[in-house]
Chains A and B, each alone.
Chain A
Amino acid sequence: MRPVECENLRITYRKGKTVAVDGLSFTVDSGDIYIFIGPDGAGKSSTFKAVCGVLRYDSGRLLTFGVDPNDDRAFEPVKEKISFMPQGLGQNLYKRLSVEENVNFFADLYGIYGEERERRKELLLKTTGLWEFRDRPAGKLSGGMMQKLSLCCILIHKPELIVLDEPTTGVDPVSRREIWRLLYSFNREGQTVLLSTSYMDEAERGTELLLMKSGKSIVSGSYDEVVSTTSPVFVVTGKEIYRVYRELWKITNTPRLKGDTVRVVVPQSKLSDFRALQERLGFSAEPVDPELEDLFVERVGLRRVELPPLFKPAVSVPEEAVVVDRVVKKFGSFTAVNGVSFRVKRGEIFGLLGPNGAGKTTLIKTILGLYRPTSGRILVAGKPVGRGVKKLIGYTSQKFSLYHDLTVFENLIYWGNVYGVPRDAVKLTVSQVAPIFELDRFLNRLVSELPLGIKQRVALLSALLHSPPILFLDEPTSGVDPVERDVFWQVIRELSKEFGVTVLVTTHYMDEAEYCDRVLLMNRGKAVALGAPRHLKEELRETLGDAYLIYTDSPFETEEFLKERGFKTALFGRKVKIYSKEPVTESLLRELGVLFRALKPSRITMEDVFVFRVLENV
């Protein structure tokens, strides 16, 4: 019997007014690691809740272990076979109970007592590294640890199907890899995993994937099947990259500017145009394996955004636009930011990267004067933050801080006014920018009714109305789909490169580092690394060597084996990623006696940088 069979599933809210899931079909086989990928609001959570019988679906056919979850009485015995972990960090935990008490509670809940309980508890807590923290209250754990504990709690009764709603969102990359490792080890014992994520780069960690947008499936299948069917993908490098990027837009709607390279999907019919352009501009184009983002972009299509010179700041700021010097911020005995220093140059896009709880938001709030630093020095536009500096700053906070009960237009007028921009000036700006931001038809809608991507654009626009020379953006792209994200980064890039706006942005998406000129990696309040993304990756490549992916049927054994031989390794589903200074070839692997199906070159990612830098510092 298959764990989940689903055909034409439809789920609506507010009596059918909001459609969350619209005609979704998928099948989870026993032993799968099935990954749902999609932005916030795609319908992932609703689907999962329906699968677990927590939410009623409207129509379609859904069977979990052969039973319809809408049939409460029949479904009751099936619930024993499932464990569901809801979205959010440690949602199912009791924050005041200790780690051990939490696990005990869940064991009692599922009727696991005595020796068996103790044995499983020890096993789980030891694999997750929580054993030494077993007396600590759950509320005092870091985000990653909390998530690991949540997992332990739902795994204590050996469910056949584990349903996890965004277990890795906002979790630091080190804990993320540990969580995945834990899932793999249970999967190896035959448990089926159904999991959702908003990180595109987690796609290849499963056996099956389903890409979702607006309640519908864009594509589904195993990673290699799904992602290899697209048109060729190129990474373009060369001089005057921004000009190349602009020209590429004339051929296709898929170019993405990442650092000093452009990634583009070129349809077969446009290949000759592409070659001609290459001839003319003299750039080099390296064909690469497509990634999920390429697929998403190809299917949905990106949109070009060009800003009018309206947002050119009237005031210029000093060369060192933001200076942060050995800043420490403590809350009681807890140190949120621990001696961080950096300087943001005028016109630069500076990224603060790190997991939830790393101290990014605290740091940005301290820079903005919302918190008083415990020690250290902060200068914005050459001065300490005060009334004079405030009008030079544009800021969007994590929750976008729009008024949900006001319309888009009312919000813009209000926020303009707050920055001293008269009503008529706001009207003029809005009339010019609304078409570019595709906000025209939303202007008179309440913000509460808008999709996340639109909210994000409105928030950005509201922070830009007074044409500030310095922009602070706190997690602006969280949960937004790749197309929206690209629009956002185009605007940021244009502001920075064309108008000289300085941008300081935080994100927990490691792959967004590519969009920044320089990044600061943060973990637990400390700076882990600082520099240009390409430079950081190059640095790691020099110490670790190149990365390769080994496809194998026995990933655990293979990884252990390679580790013993002194390789640095990481698990990616049924694949093992290894790093080696010596070139790794199939014959070398055979010589070593590794069982494998295929070997492919891989690349060093920002996540690798983060993981290895953090582990180095420990």
Chain B
Amino acid sequence: MSFSFFTLLYKEIVQFFRNRGLLLFAVYAFTLDIYLASTGIDLTLKNAPFYAEDYDLSYSSRELLSRFPPPYFRFKGYLLSDRDVERVLLKDEAVGVIRIPFNFEKNLKRGDRTEIALIVNGAEVSSSYLFSAYATQIIYNFVTGNFFRPPIEVVPRVYFNQNCSSKLFMAYSELMTVITLFLLLLPAAAVVLEKERGNIEMLTVSPLPNIVFMVAKSVAMGLIVLSFSAFALFFTVERVVSVPFRGSELDFLLLTLLYVFTASGLSMFIASLSENMLQVSQLTILLLIPILYLSGNWTPIEAMPKLLQWLSVLSPLKYYIDGALAIAIKGVPLKELTSDIAALTLQGGALFALGNYFMVRRI
């Protein structure tokens, strides 16, 4: 008996492109979604509204306040009492208030000790955090620049992403999230559709070994995701979001190919447990979230509790992100990423084999 693997692949790919809903979702995810995530979600401070409670009203105090410029800050005016401070913070009219005491200038010039209060609206978690960090830095620079020079100077130099632009990170991280989502979803959806329509029984009765059928499915879906990733990389990320890509695109896609095996193995698990599309979507979300959490994509792994740090070894996305970001942002060639490749191969081989095995067993 000879089966044409090409015919098996052709069918899967044709079916994907004829499923308009899914196709539209894929096109959206690999273009607009990545664009929105990388330009819309910003981890820098922008237009943070603030007030000043200036009791000194001196040259220096005004000079200091002028160091909080747009587009990072937006100065909204002076407040006269602590009650007003409470009011603007309660109404979320400001991220923070800077309070400058009497004799601020006098004390500075005399070299005496003085204090500046930063009253921050903690309800706005990330911007308040950034506000106090930025403000501290600005005040420090103001003081050291104008009044006295400390014995130590810190000179930061940023490699790879000189502007510390979060756009770069967000673009790649969203691309990889989308890739993961589709690798989990597509093969499982394709298998479950066959289950729902009863085609799987026909295939089981036929002499075609089920494993060949399943592998064809994973490979076809992998190819689809891979081509979409290439498109997203060359078009969405490099052209539309226009984020620099330092390494070799081929390396990036090769690493993605490796990841395809891992994730589609997991997808087969989803398929083997689901009876219908609803269950596929539920399980995909159930699986996607821990994979994302544990990958260090959202929170650095070092910042997680110990238990989660150990568990993070299990997230295949972790190795993929490690490797892919190294290629994209740092320009590391693929051959230097041996540990990530080893981990992905090991995990991928095991998951792919197990996933397909489970699937075939469950039919």
Interface of A toward B, CB cutoff 8 Å: 365, 368-370, 387, 390-391, 393, 395-399, 401, 403-406, 410, 413-415, 417-420, 422-423, 446, 472
Q: How far is the CA of A397 from the CA of B206 in the complex (A)?
A: 12
B211 to chain A, nearest CB (A): 12
List of B residues within 8 angstroms of A393 by Cβ = 205
Q: How far is the CA of A369 from the CA of B207 in the complex (A)?
A: 12
A-B contact pairs, 7 of them (CB 8 A): A370-B205, A387-B207, A391-B207, A414-B11, A415-B206, A417-B4, A419-B206
List of B residues within 8 angstroms of A401 by Cβ = 197-199, 201-202
Interface of B toward A, CB cutoff 8 Å: 1-4, 7-8, 11, 14-15, 18-19, 197-199, 201-209
List of A residues within 8 angstroms of B2 by Cβ = 420, 422
Cβ contact of B204, chosen from A370, A406, A417, cutoff 8 A: A370
Most chain B beta-carbon contacts within 10 A, residue among A397, A404, A418: A418
Beyond A369-B204, A398-B198, 8 extra complex contacts between A and B, CB < 8 Å: A401-B199, A405-B14, A405-B15, A406-B11, A406-B14, A415-B206, A417-B208, A419-B206
Beta-carbon contact of A390 and B199 below 8 Å:
no
A191 to chain B, nearest CB (A): 39
Beta-carbon contact of A368 and B205 below 8 Å:
yes
Q: How far is the CA of A417 from the CA of B12 in the complex (A)?
A: 14
Q: How far is the CA of A404 from the CA of B209 in the complex (A)?
A: 23
Known A399-B197, A405-B19; contact A417-B207, beta-carbon cutoff 8 A: no
List of A residues within 8 angstroms of B208 by Cβ = 417-420
Nearest B-chain residue to A368, judged by Cβ? B205
Beta-carbon contact of B15 and A423 below 8 Å:
no
Beta-carbon contact of B7 and A417 below 8 Å:
yes
Q: Which 6 A-B pairs give the minimum distances between C-beta atoms?
A: A420-B1, A390-B207, A417-B7, A405-B18, A401-B202, A391-B207
Cβ contact of A413, chosen from B3, B7, B198, B201, cutoff 8 A: B7
Beta-carbon contact of A418 and B204 below 8 Å:
no
Q: How far is the CA of A395 from the CA of B203 in the complex (A)?
A: 10
Q: How far is the CA of A391 from the CA of B2 in the complex (A)?
A: 12
Nearest A-chain residue to B196, judged by Cβ? A399
Nearest B-chain residue to A396, judged by Cβ? B202
List of B residues within 8 angstroms of A418 by Cβ = 3, 202-203, 206-208
Cβ contact of B205, chosen from A369, A398, A417, A423, cutoff 8 A: A369
Beta-carbon contact of B3 and A417 below 8 Å:
yes
Cβ contact of A410, chosen from B11, B202, B206, cutoff 8 A: B11
List of A residues within 8 angstroms of B199 by Cβ = 401, 403
Q: How far is the CA of A368 from the CA of B206 in the complex (A)?
A: 10
Q: How far is the CA of A530 from the CA of B14 in the complex (A)?
A: 46
Q: How far is the CA of A111 from the CA of B8 in the complex (A)?
A: 58
List of A residues within 8 angstroms of B1 by Cβ = 391, 420
Cβ contact of B7, chosen from A395, A397, A405, A423, cutoff 8 A: A423
List of B residues within 8 angstroms of A391 by Cβ = 1, 207
Q: How far is the CA of A391 from the CA of B208 in the complex (A)?
A: 9
List of B residues within 8 angstroms of A406 by Cβ = 11, 14-15, 18
Cβ contact of B206, chosen from A390, A403, A446, cutoff 8 A: A390
List of A residues within 8 angstroms of B201 by Cβ = 365, 368, 370, 397, 401
List of B residues within 8 angstroms of A413 by Cβ = 7
Nearest B-chain residue to A448, judged by Cβ? B18
Nearest B-chain residue to A389, judged by Cβ? B207
Beta-carbon contact of A422 and B197 below 8 Å:
no
B316 to chain A, nearest CB (A): 31
List of B residues within 8 angstroms of A390 by Cβ = 205-207
List of A residues within 8 angstroms of B198 by Cβ = 397-399, 401
Most chain A beta-carbon contacts within 10 A, residue among B2, B18, B197, B205: B205
Known A370-B201, A401-B199; contact A422-B14, beta-carbon cutoff 8 A: no
List of B residues within 8 angstroms of A404 by Cβ = 197
Nearest A-chain residue to B209, judged by Cβ? A387
Beta-carbon contact of B207 and A397 below 8 Å:
no
B288 to chain A, nearest CB (A): 26
B133 to chain A, nearest CB (A): 54
Nearest A-chain residue to B206, judged by Cβ? A418
List of A residues within 8 angstroms of B8 by Cβ = 414, 417
Q: How far is the CA of A368 from the CA of B204 in the complex (A)?
A: 9
Q: How far is the CA of A397 from the CA of B199 in the complex (A)?
A: 8
Q: How far is the CA of A417 from the CA of B9 in the complex (A)?
A: 12
List of B residues within 8 angstroms of A370 by Cβ = 201, 204-205
Nearest A-chain residue to B11, judged by Cβ? A414
Q: How far is the CA of A410 from the CA of B11 in the complex (A)?
A: 8
List of B residues within 8 angstroms of A396 by Cβ = 202
Most chain A beta-carbon contacts within 10 A, residue among B199, B203, B207: B207
Nearest B-chain residue to A462, judged by Cβ? B202
List of B residues within 8 angstroms of A422 by Cβ = 2, 4
Known A417-B4, A420-B2, A422-B2; contact A403-B11, beta-carbon cutoff 8 A: yes
Q: How far is the CA of A365 from the CA of B202 in the complex (A)?
A: 10
Q: How far is the CA of A396 from the CA of B199 in the complex (A)?
A: 10
Q: How far is the CA of A594 from the CA of B208 in the complex (A)?
A: 66
Q: How far is the CA of A387 from the CA of B207 in the complex (A)?
A: 6
B359 to chain A, nearest CB (A): 16
B23 to chain A, nearest CB (A): 11
Nearest A-chain residue to B7, judged by Cβ? A417
List of B residues within 8 angstroms of A365 by Cβ = 201
List of A residues within 8 angstroms of B205 by Cβ = 368-370, 390, 393, 395, 472
List of B residues within 8 angstroms of A446 by Cβ = 18
B190 to chain A, nearest CB (A): 11
A369 to chain B, nearest CB (A): 7
Beta-carbon contact of B14 and A419 below 8 Å:
no
Q: How far is the CA of A422 from the CA of B4 in the complex (A)?
A: 8
A391 to chain B, nearest CB (A): 4
A258 to chain B, nearest CB (A): 30
Q: How far is the CA of A125 from the CA of B193 in the complex (A)?
A: 40
Q: How far is the CA of A414 from the CA of B2 in the complex (A)?
A: 13
List of A residues within 8 angstroms of B204 by Cβ = 369-370
List of B residues within 8 angstroms of A415 by Cβ = 202, 206
B128 to chain A, nearest CB (A): 51
B270 to chain A, nearest CB (A): 21
List of B residues within 8 angstroms of A414 by Cβ = 7-8, 11
A368 to chain B, nearest CB (A): 5
List of A residues within 8 angstroms of B202 by Cβ = 395-397, 401, 415, 418
List of A residues within 8 angstroms of B3 by Cβ = 417-418, 420
B81 to chain A, nearest CB (A): 64
A427 to chain B, nearest CB (A): 12
A101 to chain B, nearest CB (A): 27
Q: How far is the CA of A405 from the CA of B11 in the complex (A)?
A: 10
Q: How far is the CA of A404 from the CA of B202 in the complex (A)?
A: 15
Cβ contact of B207, chosen from A398, A399, A410, A419, cutoff 8 A: A419
Most chain A beta-carbon contacts within 10 A, residue among B15, B197, B206: B206
B17 to chain A, nearest CB (A): 9
Nearest B-chain residue to A459, judged by Cβ? B202
Q: How far is the CA of A390 from the CA of B1 in the complex (A)?
A: 11
Nearest A-chain residue to B17, judged by Cβ? A405
List of B residues within 8 angstroms of A387 by Cβ = 207, 209
Nearest A-chain residue to B16, judged by Cβ? A405
Nearest A-chain residue to B202, judged by Cβ? A401
Q: How far is the CA of A224 from the CA of B3 in the complex (A)?
A: 57
Q: How far is the CA of A96 from the CA of B52 in the complex (A)?
A: 66
B334 to chain A, nearest CB (A): 36
List of B residues within 8 angstroms of A399 by Cβ = 197-198
Most chain A beta-carbon contacts within 10 A, residue among B11, B14, B18, B197: B11
List of A residues within 8 angstroms of B7 by Cβ = 413-414, 417, 423
B206 to chain A, nearest CB (A): 5
Beta-carbon contact of B4 and A403 below 8 Å:
no
B221 to chain A, nearest CB (A): 15
Q: How far is the CA of A413 from the CA of B10 in the complex (A)?
A: 11
Nearest B-chain residue to A385, judged by Cβ? B205
A170 to chain B, nearest CB (A): 17
A505 to chain B, nearest CB (A): 15
Most chain B beta-carbon contacts within 10 A, residue among A365, A369, A405, A446: A405
A425 to chain B, nearest CB (A): 11
